[in-house]
Structure 1
Amino acid sequence: MKYFAVFLPMLDVEKSQTYRPEHLEYLEARAKEGKIFARGKFADGWGGMVIYRANSLAEVQEMVDEDPYIVQKARTYEIHEWDMLLSE
């Protein structure tokens, strides 16, 4: 299993507020499937980040493209495979 950091910069504040409940519902469903490692918004209002667990970039791309924030053009995104190292 690989990890992918998905940055979700703000495109439209009003749309982000409108579609936030659907976005959070979508992420909760992916989390229950074990597809999300971590998620959250940036404190400065820039947007948010989701760290997905997946086997491939294509799998993550498909999930991100189904996120209501992306579908409704409230946010854009950037995906990076993350070579995660845990500190002890």
Structure 2
Amino acid sequence: MKNIKSLNKELVESHVEHLKELKRQGKLVLCGPFTDYPGGMVVFLAEDLAEATNIAQSDPFIASGCKSFEIRTIEPANDENNYLLEK
């Protein structure tokens, strides 16, 4: 997410509730503000691009127009897939 407009306390609280709901659904992986760059990141699980877009657009930061977003997909590299060595 990139900053567009300033945030207020109520909007931040709504964003946190959105994150908590993603966690309850088992979709939240990681989130937080960047420490070296304006904006932040929310990493979540989605079945497809349509679901990812819906999740992002339902975030109060995005819905309010205070932040913009960019969706990226990642293929996890881990022990289970030998860190994609033989792909």
- TM-score normalised to the size of structure 1? 0.80
Higher strand share: 1
Query: What's the % identity of the aligned pairs?
Result: 26
Aligned CA-pair RMSD: 1.9
Residue aligning to 1:47? 39
Task: Please give the secondary structure, in 1, of the residue aligned with 2:78.
Answer: coil
Number of residue pairs matched by the alignment: 80
Residue aligning to 2:71? 79
Indicate the structure (1 or 2) with the bigger Cα radius of gyration: 2
Structure 2: runs of 5 or more not aligned = none
Letter in 1 for 2:69: Y
Structure 1: runs of 5 or more not aligned = 1-7
* Structure number with higher relative contact order (C-alpha < 8 Å, ≥ 6 residues apart): 1
1:11 aligns with 2:4: yes
Runs of 4+ in 1 over 6 A off after TM superposition: none
- TM-score normalised to the size of structure 2? 0.81
Whole-Å separation in 2 of the counterparts to 1:16 and 1:81 = 30
